[in-house]
Amino acid sequence: MTAAPALLLEGVHKSFDKHEVLKGIDLALEPHDVVCLIGASGSGKSTLLRCVNLLEPIDQGRIVLGGDEITAPGVKVDRVRRRVGIVFQAFNLFPHMTVLRNVTLGPIRALGASRAEAEAEARELLGRFGLADRAGDYPDRLSGGQQQRVAIVRALAMRPELMLLDEVTSALDPELVAEVLSVIRELAESGMTMLIATHEMSFARDIAHRVCFLDEGVILEEGDPEQIFTAPREPRTQQFLQRIVAAGRL
Amino acid sequence: MRASAASGRRSTLIALGSTIVFAVVVVLLVTNAPGWPAVKRAFFDGEVFRESLEVIPEAFLLNVKIFLVAEAFILPFALLIAILRGLPGPVFFPLRALAVVYADFFRGVPTILVIYMLGFGAPALGLSWIPIDPLFWGVVALVLVYSAYVSEVYRAGIESVHPSQEAAARSLGLSRAKALRFVILPQAVRRVVPPLLNDFIGLQKDTALVGLLGVVEAFRQSQIEAANTFNYTPYVVTAIIFILLTIPLARLTDWLVARDRRRQLAAAGAR
Ligand SMILES: Nc1ncnc2c1ncn2[C@@H]1O[C@H](COP(=O)(O)OP(=O)(O)OP(=O)(O)O)[C@@H](O)[C@H]1O
Ligand SMILES: [Mg+2]
């Protein structure tokens, strides 16, 4: 008997008005898998991640998280979101709260943890990611890289079984990208199951167990990073990667 | 540094000088007007002024009380209306519609009409279980009218918080209500403190309308004084008292706005 996949998408469709963004996505992540989603801007990477976190309702298909169908009618969305961490491109920290309060809000208010417990765990996580001395600061006092690491810690504090990362380095100055990528690398090594949308091809190649190329609303090609980046089968994947190389991003 | 201190002193002097010149011109214009002696007797009688000071400030305490009590109801009630108006989905359509009608109605009807209709109408219904005290109905009228304005202020604040903040809160598994309470409202309220204080100033003035129901607050008291002395000086006294209370509120508002701007600049600089 095999364990249930960490995440399973079957025939997921999603439209905004007349515009069909996802046209039948099939995807499976085993526990501890790190899967990178690549694809042109507007191909629907963010939409896919937002669907998994139920921030967007899907029109067709089903999504199964650790054996539970989360797109079934009557599922409590808040419960599902507590099991899935998401980190956005724009950090989206809460500007009126200190770093520590940002990190403890979810555990205290959504999970019902005691303040002492939540703070102890938050401090430990902050320390692990080099943010121990920033616990009392407000987000606008931090660099972009620090803010994004806080956003990652905020998601981790919920002890999620799956992390969704949406272009978490795209809003950062180039010199701040490395510190955030190393945090993600550490997460991958610690066995976190992750679905990562990214434009950082060399990072995807380096960290991903599998890479999915999203094109025209479907996963056109899926494979291990070596194969995708060196010997893509689909002409559209080749074109996409050629454009990336031409832009100096691989 | 020293140069800027000196230039600061100089601009203070210039401001002071021009203010004095302006004031002198206005005073000369008014006091040389043909009707001035009559106006002076009617509005600026020293004797009446002193007499008024003995009773009107005391009556004004009632205005302050009306203001404080009304505000204590307006702040939460208006917030409730603003929240109702933001409820999502078709289920809540009736509540949303109710909130819209409420805000439109009470912003549209002149405050003085609401005061009259409630103050004279409600007690006249003859229902034994509702109060007949005009003071009560005056306060109710102010709460109804000002809640409509303040709910719009809150709503503007709530809408000024970027939707990604709600998404971030919801993604942590917080319910809509908790996202509103812990993430959206604290940011919204902070942003609307200055316009909120502006509405406070308006309310403070409109407490005088309750006097029209016969409640003896500062305005009503000055009417009584004026009738007794055949002189309008009591009104001037009342005006001065209202202004004295408004100035600190107005300056506080300015100060808060300036502080917010400084903070935003500092935050932008830190990044
Ligand atoms: N809330 C929305 N309403 C309407 N259209 C939307 C919405 N969100 C996304 N879209 C559309 O869906 C398409 C996919 O958007 P999405 O943000 O998922 O792409 P992406 O692959 O993440 O792009 P990028 O690499 O630029 O982040 C785009 O055409 C976008 O305009
Ligand atoms: Mg995106």
* Per-residue model confidence as pLDDT tens digits over A71-112: 999 999 999 999 999 999 998 999 999 999 999 999 999 999
* pLDDT digits 0-9 by tens, B68-118: 999 999 999 999 999 999 898 899 999 999 999 999 999 999 999 999 999
CB A94: neighbour CB atoms within 10 A?
22
The ipTM estimated for the assembled molecules is 0.91
- Within 8 A of B171 by CB-CB distance, chain A residues are 53, 55, 81, 84-86, 155
pLDDT band at A197; cut points 50, 70, 90: very high
The alpha helices in chain B, defined as continuous H runs, are 2-31, 36-43, 46-85, 93-108, 111-116, 122-124, 134-160, 163-171, 176-179, 185-206, 218-229, 233-270
* Inter-residue contact A204 to A213 (CB < 8 Å): no
Buried b or exposed e, range B176-189, using 16+ CB within 10 angstroms: bebbbebbbbbbbb
A16 lines ligand 1 (CB under 6 A): yes
B267 touches chain A (CB under 8 A): yes
pLDDT band at A1; cut points 50, 70, 90: very low
For A77, nearest residue in chain B (alpha carbons): B173
CATH code of the domain in which A217 resides: 3.40.50.300
Angle among Cα B121, B127, B131 to the nearest 5 degrees reads 70
For B167, nearest residue in chain A (alpha carbons): A55
Split into its structural domains, chain B has a count of 1
Q: Is residue A200 part of a domain?
A: yes
What is the mean predicted confidence (pLDDT) over B179-190? 95
Q: Is residue B25 part of a domain?
A: no
Which residue is it, tokens 């309310």? B203
* Inter-residue contact B114 to B106 (CB < 8 Å): yes
B270 touches chain A (CB under 8 A): yes
- Within 8 A of B269 by CB-CB distance, chain A residues are none
Residue A249 has pLDDT above 70, yes or no: no
Cα–Cα distance between A160 and A163 in angstroms, integer? 7
Q: Is residue A50 part of a domain?
A: yes
Q: What contacts B146, CB < 8 A, 6 or more positions away? A: B70, B74, B78, B199, B202, B203, B206
Cα–Cα distance between B142 and B210 in angstroms, integer? 9
For B271, nearest residue in chain A (alpha carbons): A143
Residue B264 has what pLDDT? Answer: 73
Torsion of CA B34, B37, B43, B49, to 10 degrees: 160
Buried b or exposed e, range B219-237, using 16+ CB within 10 angstroms: bbbbbbbbeeeebbbbbbb
* Inter-residue contact A193 to A209 (CB < 8 Å): no
For A110, nearest residue in chain B (alpha carbons): B174
* pLDDT digits 0-9 by tens, A7-64: 999 999 999 999 999 999 999 999 999 999 999 999 999 999 999 999 999 999 999 9
DSSP string, A44-110: SHHHHHHHHTTSS--SEEEEEETTEETTSTT--HHHHHHHEEEE-TT----TTS-HHHHHHHIIIII
Looking from the CA of A96 toward its CB, the CA atoms found within 13 Å total: 14
Grouping H, G, I as helix, E, B as strand and the rest as coil, residue A250 is coil
Q: Which structural domain, as residue segments, surrounds residue B224?
A: 45-270
* pLDDT digits 0-9 by tens, A105-157: 999 999 999 999 999 999 999 999 999 999 999 999 999 999 999 999 999 99
Residue B259 has what pLDDT? Answer: 86
Residues with CB under 5 A from ligand 2 (ion): A 46
Interface test with chain B among A96, A137, A153, A154, by most B beta carbons within 10 Å:
A96
Residue A2 has what pLDDT? Answer: 59
CB B22: neighbour CB atoms within 10 A?
10
* pLDDT digits 0-9 by tens, B123-166: 888 888 888 899 999 999 999 999 999 999 999 999 999 999 99
Residue A175 has what pLDDT? Answer: 86
* Inter-residue contact A114 to A144 (CB < 8 Å): no
Q: Is residue B40 part of a domain?
A: no
Strand pairing of A194-197 and A34-38?
Answer: parallel
What is the mean predicted confidence (pLDDT) over B203-229? 93
Split into its structural domains, chain A has a count of 1
- Within 8 A of B271 by CB-CB distance, chain A residues are 140, 143-144
What is the mean predicted confidence (pLDDT) over A211-234? 94
Residue B2 has pLDDT above 80, yes or no: no
Residue B64 has what pLDDT? Answer: 95
Q: Which of A90, A96, A106 sits opposite B164 (nearest CB)?
A: A90
Helix (H) or strand (E) holding A155: helix A144-156
Residue B266 has what pLDDT? Answer: 73
Q: Is residue A21 part of a domain?
A: yes
* Inter-residue contact A56 to A50 (CB < 8 Å): yes
What is the mean predicted confidence (pLDDT) over A221-248? 90
Cα–Cα distance between B114 and A1 in angstroms, integer? 74
Q: Is residue B92 part of a domain?
A: yes
Grouping H, G, I as helix, E, B as strand and the rest as coil, residue B44 is coil
Residue A150 has what pLDDT? Answer: 96
Q: What contacts B94, CB < 8 A, 6 or more positions away? A: none
- What's the one-letter identity of residue A180? V
CB contact under 8 A, A93 and B170: no
- What's the one-letter identity of residue A15? S
Q: Is residue B8 part of a domain?
A: no
Distance from CA of B152 to the nearest CA of A (A): 22
Cα–Cα distance between A183 and A180 in angstroms, integer? 5
The tokens for B128 are 């034994």
- How many CB pairs lie under 8 A apart between chains A and B? 65
- pTM value is 0.85
CATH code of the domain in which B85 resides: 1.10.3720.10
CB contact under 8 A, B183 and A94: yes
Mean pLDDT, all residues of chain B:
91
Q: Which structural domain, as residue segments, surrounds residue A85?
A: 7-94+161-246
Grouping H, G, I as helix, E, B as strand and the rest as coil, residue B256 is helix
Residue B243 has what pLDDT? Answer: 94
Q: Is residue A109 part of a domain?
A: no
Which of B201, B207, B211, B203 has its CA nearest to residue B248? Answer: B201
Residue B132 has what pLDDT? Answer: 87
Diameter over CA atoms, chain A = 55
Q: Which of A88, A110, A144 sits opposite B173 (nearest CB)?
A: A110
Highest mean pLDDT among B73-77, B253-257, B262-266: B73-77
* Inter-residue contact A20 to A217 (CB < 8 Å): yes
CB contact under 8 A, B171 and A90: no
The tokens for A200 are 């950082």
